[in-house]
Amino acid sequence: MTVNPQDWEAVSAGKRAARDALIPKAWIIKDVEERNVQSVAESCGVLSPEEIKITDTEAPELVKKMVNKELTSEQVVTAFCKRAAVAQQLTNCLTEILFDDAIERAKAIDAAFVETGKPAGPLHGLPISLKDNFNVKGVDTTVGFVAWANDPASIDSELTQLLREQGGIIFCKTNVPTAMMIAESYNNVWGYTASPWNRDTSSGGSSGGEGALLAFKGSPLGVGTDIGGSIRIPCALSGIYGLKPSFGRFPTYGARSGMPGQEAVRSINGPMSASLEACKLWCRTVVGSQPWLRDPYVVPIPWREVQLPEKLCFGMIVDNGLVRPLPPVQRALRETKAALEAAGHKVVEWTPYDAAESKSLLERFFAGDGGAKISGFIKEGGEPWPKGLEAFEAAAEHFKDKPPAVGDLWTLQAERSAYAKKALDHWMASAELTGTGRPFDGVISPVSAYASCPRYTYEHVTYTSMWNITDQSSAVFPVSFVTEQDEEVQISDFRDDVEKRIWERYDPQEVIGAPVGLQVVTMRLEEEKALALAEVAAKALGKI
């Protein structure tokens, strides 16, 4: 579809109105002025006490209760539809609302269970939210583009089908930034998604709608994607768990991309949840379904049980050499180090291999088509360029008369492979630091220089994106919250303008109460280990 420039606002308004009309009037809440709205689910009157209890229960326990006939899927799905509706009104986290279909599917699962006595699968009757880029037949997959509005998907993504086959019920889709190429979630179709912890701040991106919804417990389990930090950043800013796998571990076929065909840095799918056990359940279920039989790029590796050494040795990144983390993140690193050492583990400060080169590689890959794809979709929708895509807009202007050559991409991919080899050698050399004869069991790192940030101010994704260049696995775990003690710190030896802006902009009063999360990184295709190490850290911190 091509939209006239003067019509794009009408298209956006129509999409929002259609979404909002799908929220039952009985679920509409009064306006709330507070920045932190995490208690509103309990106070707004939409959910019954029993429904609050249901939505406070972790996904694996919900499945167990449904299989044991203590709860029905209809009860569980309805409760989460209500809480998701409240989350939407507070944070603007949803795109497509599928409540009616989800409740009907829940009723069907309940009826079949009564008749056969056989659960629908390992996700029996469980409501699951999806990031907007996953195709669900019959509804839009806009990925924030006006041009892709009012164009319902004709097929389901492979993952959508798989989750339903395993008993899951898709009940909503969640907001992303335009093209999924901004570390906050806003676009010209749906608007801005805020954090429920502090609505003046960001929920992150590009899976920011998932982050906000899951932080509010409007979904027990969600699925995001990550090409530069898009699962990990929202998880850290939302105080939840998440897994960024290596490419090939989980199916990606049939999901929509803002840069279709960009495969030099591969986008991957992974679970997000307020529950670490929910993330494990998702992984076991997806891999256990043998997804390599339906997606040609999935590797046939079964889900493995991990036996960790009793005493672990972690590397810890306290500075990537480009942007020092802000005070709340520095404190989270110190607290995690102390907790792990108190639990008997070793933590060694470590510098990753050449973060600046990884940053350069990522930026050049993302502009590999000269910004042509994104520019074309923006123009097709007649919409203005959103804030945050300035680099793509500049690339489109720069390369409009002479697009980059294929040979340039090949050269860049050779550089990436050389970088990945040097980064691997650097990682393996850590065996000299551990005292165990083996390299680090995992590396603890900031996810971001921020705990959170005011709207439209996020920049610098290298703490996450460097692991996309090397395709290593990583899991996020919550650590703390910003407090009055995270005072503003004055430094002057800034290394570049980005670090200077981030530090000079920092005001702890703006982000008090925001979560602080960290990530633990492993080697490639070690998703089981990443989750196990995240559990070690979370237990040491007293989070689980």
State the catalytic residues.
131, 206, 230
Cα–Cα–Cα angle for 538, 443, 236, nearest 5°?
Answer: 50
The dihedral region occupied by 45, where left means phi > 0, alpha psi between -120 and 50, and beta the remainder, is left
181 is in an annotated binding site: no
DSSP per-residue letters across 148-168 = GTT---SS--HHHHHHHHTT-
The total number of residues shown for the chain amounts to 544
**CA separation for the pair 509, 376 (Å, rounded):** 41
DSSP per-residue letters across 481-501 = E--TTS--------SSHHHHH
User: How far is residue 26 from each of residues 46, 133, 170, 172, measured CA to CA in Å?
Assistant: 7, 29, 22, 19
375 is in an annotated binding site: no
**CA-based nearest residue to 236, from 533, 445, 91:** 445
DSSP per-residue letters across 226-290 = ESSSTTHHHHHHHT-EEEE--TTSS--TTB--SSTT--SS--EEEEEES-HHHHHHHHHHHHHT-
229 is in an annotated binding site: yes
- How is residue 339 written in tokens? 């907790």
Q: Please return the burial class of 77, using the count of CB atoms within 10 Å of its CB with bins 0-12, 13-18 and 19+.
A: buried
- How is residue 301 written in tokens? 């590796």
CB 201 within 8 A of CB 514: yes
344 is in an annotated binding site: no
Rounded to 10 degrees, the C-alpha dihedral 55/283/298/359 comes to: 80
321 is in an annotated binding site: no
Give the SS3 label for residue 211.
helix
The dihedral region occupied by 217, where left means phi > 0, alpha psi between -120 and 50, and beta the remainder, is left
- The alpha carbon of 112 is separated from its chain's Cα centroid by a whole number of angstroms, namely 34
Strand order in the sheet with 222-226: 94-97, 169-174, 127-131, 222-226, 268-273, 241-244, 474-481, 515-521, 442-446, 313-316, 346-349
**CA separation for the pair 212, 243 (Å, rounded):** 16
**CA-based nearest residue to 447, from 425, 479, 412:** 479
Cis peptide before 202 (omega within 30 of 0): no
The dihedral region occupied by 496, where left means phi > 0, alpha psi between -120 and 50, and beta the remainder, is beta
- HSE-CB at 66 with a 13 A cutoff on CA atoms is 33
227 is in an annotated binding site: yes
* Residue set of the binding site for substrate: 180, 206, 227-230
* Residue set of the binding site: 180, 206, 227-230
